[in-house]
Structure 1
């Protein structure tokens, strides 16, 4: 008689179990007291590569030798007495599958009135990845807008500063006309002129931060600028070994050669300063078409680009430094050793050319800057 009743009960449960097997989420039923698995649906059996009915849930699902420290069985039991339909919800990463899940736990009556735990887990890994990507895009767009605002301010200051310097330069020149080398004020006036030259360099850097600066663009092969700067730089830095990997048929790009030369030399100098005792500087150029996610996150149009990366095997940067590396007036150098405008100017110049710049670094892992500039291709090529 008991065998017949068991068979009938199993037959009654077959449609219910078939539904659970058809669901594309993890469904597991475990005994409250023993933690034995009473049922695993098909999706869960596939992902854990076994039908683990009869085994301990913590051993199968989390590869542990004892019940999980954060097991909420007791909370579920207490909750079931108050409101059986109210589950407990939480998120976690499973150490076996490496996936991120949202979990729902509930106390239920299983066969023969046995109290059990119904555990349903939905894989939300892709959703979490999209959330991270979206946060990255938001942060990068926010930084881009901040740089535009600061750049506009810097550009306005630079123009006003330039006007004041022109007046000082003019008055100094007038004074120099009536002063010879024997005059006691001659050296002071020469010192003023020297300071004015330094101020002009500072103004040029500020104007580089300002993305609205007028550029004299022409179709150019970036390899020519990159290699010309490498030869100038390499001739004065004997401890630096330069490794070049140029795209042979690099697409042309419309740039202001003078501005881009400033960008490339600035990146070379930054790499050199990160390698105190010498090291390897790697220069790479490449044709590529960034995907839509990259273009959206860096606020550039989709299409063909020319990329140039400058990498070093120096000391690298920690995350807080990396987050501020393009901010105007931020510098890792000591007081009086830098204006903090070099990389800000680089960022501003590249943005003024409708491109973008990225940086990857880590403490002790070196640094790699990559600039992306729109390719100057014939219309027929763009339509292919």
Structure 2
């Protein structure tokens, strides 16, 4: 009986061990299956995610992570993150240590320099992960490339700003046009009466000099009115095929004869398209731009003039109310004092000037704006304080 009891006990123990082994094997298979599922989940998640241990060695990473960082041809598991990214910013390494201390870090937008020299905008998150004993085993990194979103936001702001500017200038143009026409009529009345008085006045008469001064002031006021009408799109145009390179060189030659302290540089496209334009009006536009550049360089400097062909799409031209197609670009860049953002917003407003009294009417760039708009074109200004203007 005793021998039988021992055999029975041994059999029970063997059965128990077999069950334990089977349970352990099953648990192991379940763990392996879960690890495989977790690995597949991480690998195929559409986000850029990576999991590292406390030595910053990769445990798992998504395919998107590898693609976003140009690492699709490498197996990163077991490799150190700092060996993969040798030029990682010191700030990011500090954040990794903060994460190992239990802190989660979220950066909504941040500049990320690529190995090829390009720059992307990214959104980053760092979160610690814990082992079963509660200790921090490493960190999980999440990044989202938001460069396209940033570009879209910038484009939206540009379109909204240009649309606002176009609406503002349209309103000012209507007002300026009405005032200019009425003011011009008043000037013509004064001019007529002054001319009649001069006809009846001898040159020796003490009033003769004063009357001629009045006539000179009338002529100056008439010239201002013409500029204001140009801004308000009220001028008469004789449009014909024109070569902008020739107009640029002719106007620059006329300007350069009297402005020896300024040096002109040209980069003109030999294959520049012909444009439909009123040549005297285009010469006025160019001369106003040259004069404006010269006035921004009181101690002399350089003016760079460039022409080129552009094909612009509907999205870019939407704020200007223009049709997509072929355009000719003329840029005039100076090495002057530049403008701040506040000045830039008003640079084409009539009568706005930053020059001291007597040096400008504030109508030069305003007339450029009006003439270009009436030629189914547009004008933009780019500048930074101390870095000149274009």
TM-score computed with the length of structure 2 as normaliser = 0.78
Equivalent of residue 376 in structure 2, options 354, 358, 361: 354
Any idea what the Cα deviations from partners look like across 1:58-115, whole Å, max 9, x if unmatched? x977644433698698677xxxxxxxxxxx9761215465533445677877667777
Counterpart-to-counterpart distance in 2, 1:94 and 1:316: 28
Equivalent of residue 10 in structure 1, options 23, 28, 32: 32
Q: Look at both structures and tell me which one has the larger radius of gyration over its CA atoms.
A: 2
Counterpart-to-counterpart distance in 2, 1:51 and 1:73: 25
Counterpart-to-counterpart distance in 2, 1:69 and 1:198: 72
Given that 2:51 and 2:58 are in contact with CA atoms closer than 8 Å, whether structure 1 keeps it comes out as yes
Equivalent of residue 294 in structure 1, options 286, 294, 316: 316
Any idea what the Cα deviations from partners look like across 1:118-176, whole Å, max 9, x if unmatched? 65433222112111111111111111111111111111110010111111112212222
Q: Does 1:252 align with 2:274?
A: yes
CA distance 1:212–1:198, change in 2 (3 Å): closer
2:110 equivalent in structure 1: 93
1:51 equivalent in structure 2: 76
- Map 1:122-271 onto structure 2 (within 5 A): 122-271=144-293
Given that 1:161 and 1:203 are in contact with CA atoms closer than 8 Å, whether structure 2 keeps it comes out as yes
CA distance 1:169–1:25, change in 2 (3 Å): same
Deviation, structure 1 residue 362: 2.7
Equivalent of residue 295 in structure 2, options 269, 273, 276: 273
Q: Aligned residue pairs: how many?
A: 355
| Between 349-358 and 359-368, the greater mean CA deviation after superposition | 359-368
3-state secondary structure, aligned to 2:381: strand
| Between 320-329 and 134-143, the greater mean CA deviation after superposition | 320-329
CA distance 1:256–1:94, change in 2 (3 Å): closer
Deviation, structure 1 residue 273: 1.9
3-state secondary structure, aligned to 1:91: strand
Given that 1:152 and 1:212 are in contact with CA atoms closer than 8 Å, whether structure 2 keeps it comes out as no
Equivalent of residue 332 in structure 1, options 339, 354, 365: 354
Given that 1:328 and 1:344 are in contact with CA atoms closer than 8 Å, whether structure 2 keeps it comes out as yes
Deviation, structure 1 residue 225: 2.1
Deviation, structure 1 residue 222: 2.1
Deviation, structure 1 residue 365: 2.9
Deviation, structure 1 residue 29: 4.3
- Kindly report the root-mean-square deviation, in angstroms, between the aligned alpha carbons of the 2 structures: 3.5
Given that 2:99 and 2:126 are in contact with CA atoms closer than 8 Å, whether structure 1 keeps it comes out as no
Counterpart-to-counterpart distance in 2, 1:269 and 1:217: 24
- Map 1:316-331 onto structure 2 (within 5 A): 316-331=338-353
Any idea what the Cα deviations from partners look like across 1:205-241, whole Å, max 9, x if unmatched? 1111102433221222223322221221122122322
Given that 2:231 and 2:371 are in contact with CA atoms closer than 8 Å, whether structure 1 keeps it comes out as yes
1:41 equivalent in structure 2: 62
Higher relative contact order (CA 8 A, sep 6+): 1
Equivalent of residue 26 in structure 1, options 45, 48, 60: 48
Which ranges of structure 1 fall in alignment gaps of 5 or more residues? 77-87, 369-384
3-state secondary structure, aligned to 2:165: helix
Deviation, structure 1 residue 17: 1.8
CA distance 1:249–1:39, change in 2 (3 Å): closer
Any idea what the Cα deviations from partners look like across 1:246-274, whole Å, max 9, x if unmatched? 33343222212221111011111112222
TM-score computed with the length of structure 1 as normaliser = 0.79
Counterpart-to-counterpart distance in 1, 2:109 and 2:101: 16
